[in-house]
Structure 1
Amino acid sequence: MSTKKISFPTAFTVLFIVLLFAALLTYVIPAGSYSKLKYNSSQSVFVVTKPDASKIELPGTQDTLNQLTIKVNLEKFKEGSISKAVAIPGTYERVEQNPQGIVDIIQAPIKGVYGTIEIIMFLFIIGGCIGVLNSSGAFDAGIASLSRITKGKEFLLIIIVTVLISIGGTTFGLAEETIALYPILVPVFVAAGYDAIVCIATLYMGSCIGTMFSTVNPFSSVIGSNAAGIAFTQGLPMRTAGLVIATIITIMYILSYGKKIKEDPTKSLIYSQKEEIEERFLKNYKNKVIPEFTVRRKLMLIIFTSAFVIMTWGVSTQEWWFTEMSTLFLVIGILLGVVSGSGEKEFVGKFIAGAADLVSVALVVGVARSINLIMESGMISDSILNYASNAVQGMSAGVFIIVMYLLFIILGFFIPSSSGLAVLSIPIIAPLADTVGLERDTIISAYQYGQGLISFITPTGLVLATLAMVNVTYDKWLKFIMPLMCYITIFAGIMLLIQAAF
């Protein structure tokens, strides 16, 4: 009698389970909504959309904001710093229940893909660039060279990459963009004697820690502070200190695991996939079929690397987003084809093949978005926020800020967008800080820490798309990350209590 080995479900199955759970909540949680305010720059008026979907126009003045108890400077709306609709405190109303049925559930992933098409297109173009590079032998030659350079001091890879990605996360919200780096760096780490989880942790956790302890990140620190009516520099010293310490904790954790793997590969959480991963990422390197690191191949890698430098500059200083980033990499892809010397048909074939390799990753991104759509359509996101904000009134300052921290962890699971969570929740929760004698910057820290922490594991975020890049299952990631998550949870809580005390 044969028995089938039970394996952990794929990323798609995990997401569909969470999707079904979210749909079930639309039957259980009463539907409700806050009135939402948005600035119409062409007419210089505020447009308020009420829970019943009716709209009214109000003067686009500071007095209007003050009357609505939205303590935000009018200039923030005029200059576009706050472009999404802002929830108006005290306006929550129950609305007719809108439970999401089977048709809604089936359509949600399709709508999710439509809603994330910019990210998906970015992934396809990145995949195309990687396909061209792979076919040229530039990666294999570069990996061999880097492996020789770091021989005996491979730990520097973990430190350097984690620090750089953390800086990107804290300054301009580097997150989705890191997906492009996995096909490049996984071979480097595996060739250095580590497993793929070390590479995932270095990139993904570098990004998570950076965004969790954001300093000048416009998508969380700036937008969140604007929504709270304070300058984003308030609370900056504490978040900066938290960033440095949390990054050190993360690096030490990854180094410890990496050292154990190098000494005994069987200790790897994905040791059963060792041959599969090496076959996929180190095929030529393993078989010693390593092309010469020629000037042409060096130039191709320099061109590709320069794209990330340009992207960093564009996102952080020129307000670039996915359209501009995709355009950049499309140009880079064409340049790589020219430098490689391949013919037109060969170039197109390799580009399309590279894009095809990321189809599953792109679909994971789209399906993850469907969970948020189900909750929004079911009108329960605002209800969850309203119940939570009512529950914390009257608490002591210390207890209040820890409860806020836990609240944002929960909200961050359902609303993984930092800017989306900020404009929805901060105008409602920030005034509560006043009632317990806390500065509002403490709320911003709680918001960032809570959402950043849950991003370590939340299926609605990037983690499943990340794991799909190297075919690592979610349960293996949880086993690896949970101890570190506990350390960071406690550390962030201590930082909040210190900030609340001073």
Structure 2
Amino acid sequence: MSKKKRSFPTAFTVLFIVLIFAAILTYIVPSGLFAKLQYDGDKKIFVVTKPDGSTQELPGTQETLDKLGIKIKIEKFEDGSIYKPIAIPGTYERVEANPQGIIDVLQAPIKGIQESIDIIVFVLIIGGLIGVLNSTGAFDAGIASLSRATKGKEFLLIVIITALVAVGGTTFGMAEETIAFYPILIPVFIAAGYDALVCIAAVYMGSSVGTMFSTVNPFASVIASNAAGITFTEGLTMRFIGWIIANIIAIVYIVRYANKVKKDPANSLIYSQKEEIEEKFLKNHDKKEVPEFTLRRKLMLIIFGLAFAVMIWGVSTQDWWFTEMTTLFLAVSLIIGFLSRMKEKDFVNRFISGAADLVGVALIIGVARGINLILDNGLISDTILYYASKLVEGMNPVVFIIVILLIFIVLGFFIPSSSGLAVLSMPIIAPLADSVGLPRDIIVSAYQYGQGLIAFITPTGLILATLGLVDVTYDKWLKFIMPLMGYIGAFSIIMLLIQAFVR
């Protein structure tokens, strides 16, 4: 009797394994907290929340910051550059343990879904829009036209998409917004002769490399530099150079894999799913009977494309977030439904069907958030930061840089929010650079590289939600991405050493 082949667990199972692991850590790692400082702009005071939960009000002045050992200009608080609570150096205290038990683990996904409802609704509305647009034939006609235009030069799809998303990543931290791109681009990449993994890599790595080597990203470079007590322009040149080279490394890696797949589909890491994926994304695409690319269909695609341009404008200049982005795509759905002359009942059915296709992805996002809640409620993140800061005191500068990068890789797993990690860690770790004779911009770069690198694979980030779109298992992604992760990790160390010692 032949043995049944074991398959790798689904994204949900992987997340629950990580969830249980996080809960176990709350029994092992001591609980502790730093005192947190937050500025009240209305009263012009600082509010200090101590580890025991008590609060204290202090004058909102530079003198207060100096006394607390926080080397940040008061103007950064006054103008809203730093708006989240920041950790106060030297205030770490052990607190009563709050281990997360079975009930906490079971409730975490539910609470995670509740706390992620904004992005979940965003994903569902995107799914509804794709469902409506798919039914009009505009996608099929557009794919056929694009395939003819890029005949023999399909690799340009990878170069253009990766580069454009990387621009969004380095300028305003484009991440969650990319969820909207996959349902549109995967059919394009498959029609071009590639597999879905190529599309995922182009978009996800464009975003990841962009945010990893952020230049003017207010949620990473700017807020981290402010919290470190320096201007974001310090170290900016090196990060910009790193952004260009890292993008080239990523694009070359993806193109090489893509060319192998195009030459022989059997080289695809997800070849066993080829028919399943094509059925899902090209089920209405018949190469022999492609819908005519009429003016009406062109107009629909133009409006659809403009929606993304408007979204990027809104997020980067108008402080838009998920409510505004979701409203935008709902409006576009209605406009396209009107242009297509679709009947009301057909429109609703198509929209609901499209949203249903992304329910799994939406739930994955919520469950991933549940892991963060377990870690937060277990009160161990500050402890990890405290012992990490003690580890590097008095180290040799070269070893110091490498260890700091590794520390941020670990912290990036526990605290996937770029701004959250910045305000917690920078006031504690940035001063350590002074003790080994290095500039503080090194710490900012190490923070970005470390958190960015772990984002390639961390289950607490967006990767499992992304893979869930095409039912690609986590092990296939790891097999694909680990070599590239090694290349960019080694490159990051080189860039940090150059930034430190070539002045």
TM range, smaller chain: over 0.9
Which residue of structure 2 aligns with residue 297 of structure 1?
Answer: 297
1:319-347 per-residue CA deviation (whole Å, 9 max, x = no partner) reads: 11111111111211111111111122221
- Within 5 A, what are the aligned runs for 1:233-312? 233-286=233-286, 288-312=288-312
C-alpha contact 1:144 1:285 (8 A) present in aligned 2: no
Deviations 1:33-72 (A, max 9, x none): 0001111122111111111101111111111111111111
Map 1:43-442 → 2, pairs under 5 A: 43-286=43-286, 288-442=288-442
In the aligned structure 1, how far is the partner of 2:184 from the partner of 2:299?
16
CA distance in 2, matches of 1:93, 1:418: 24
Task: Give the distance between the partners of 1:260 and 1:357, measured in 2 at CA.
Answer: 30
Aligned partners of 1:72, 1:257: CA distance in 2, in Å? 46
Tell me: CA distance 1:289–1:471, structure 2 relative to 1, closer, same or farther (3 Å).
farther
- Aligned residue for 1:39, secondary structure, equals strand
Q: 3-state DSSP class of the match of 2:181? A: helix
1:438-464 per-position Cα deviation (integer Å, ceiling 9, x unaligned)? 111110000000000000000000000
Q: Is the 8 A contact 1:284 1:290 kept in 2?
A: no
Structure 2 letter corresponding to 1:401: I
Q: Distance in 2 between matches of 1:262 and 1:130?
A: 26
Task: Give the 5 Å matches for 1:453-468.
Answer: 453-468=453-468
Residues 109 and 369 of structure 1 are in contact (CA less than 8 Å); yes or no, is this contact kept in structure 2? yes
Query: Partners of 2:284 and 2:107 in 1: how far apart?
Result: 42
What's the CA shift string for 1:367-422, capped at 9, x where partnerless? 11111111110110000000000010001211111110000001101111101110
- TM-score, length basis structure 2: 0.98
Q: What's the RMSD between the two structures over aligned residues?
A: 1.0
The code of the aligned residue for 1:60 comes to G
Q: Which runs of 5+ in 2 are unaligned?
A: none
Give the letter for the 2:80 counterpart.
Answer: G
Residues 331-340 or 235-244, more deviating: 331-340
Percentage of identical aligned residues: 71
Structure 1, unpaired ranges of 5+ = none
**Alpha-carbon distance, 1:288 to partner:** 3.0
Shift of 1:3: 3.4
2:6 aligns with: 6
Could you tell me how far apart the structure 2 residues matched to 1:454 and 1:289 are? Answer: 45
Alignment of 1:471-482 (within 5 A): 471-482=471-482
Q: In structure 2, what is the Cα distance between the partners aligned to 1:345 and 1:69?
A: 63
Alignment-mate amino acid for residue 363 of structure 1:
L
Question: Matched residues in 2 for 1:104 and 1:362: separation?
Answer: 21
Supply the distance in 2 between the matched residues of 1:382 and 1:157 (Cα, whole angstroms). 43
Q: Deviations 1:414-434 (Å, cap 9, x if unpaired)?
A: 111101110111111001111
- How far 1:286 moved relative to its partner? 4.2
1:142 touches 1:293 (CA, 8 Å); kept in 2?
yes
Cα separation, 1, equivalents of 2:198 and 2:302:
25
- CA pair 97-452 structure 1, distance change in 2 beyond 3 A: same
Q: How many residues align?
A: 502
Whole-angstrom CA distance in 2 between matches of 1:76 and 1:337: 46
Deviates more, 1:342-351 or 1:82-91: 342-351
Cα shift at 1:249: 0.5
CA distance in 2, matches of 1:291, 1:178: 28
- How far did residue 2 of structure 1 move? 5.3
8 Å contact from structure 1 (residues 178, 203) kept in 2: yes
CA distance in 1, matches of 2:481, 2:494: 20
Q: 1:156-202 CA deviation, whole Å, 9 max, x = no partner? A: 10111111011110001111111111111111111111111111110
Q: Secondary structure at the match of 1:38?
A: strand
Contact 1:133 1:336 in 2 (8 A): yes
Aligned to 1:445: 445
CA shift, 1:290, in A, is: 2.1
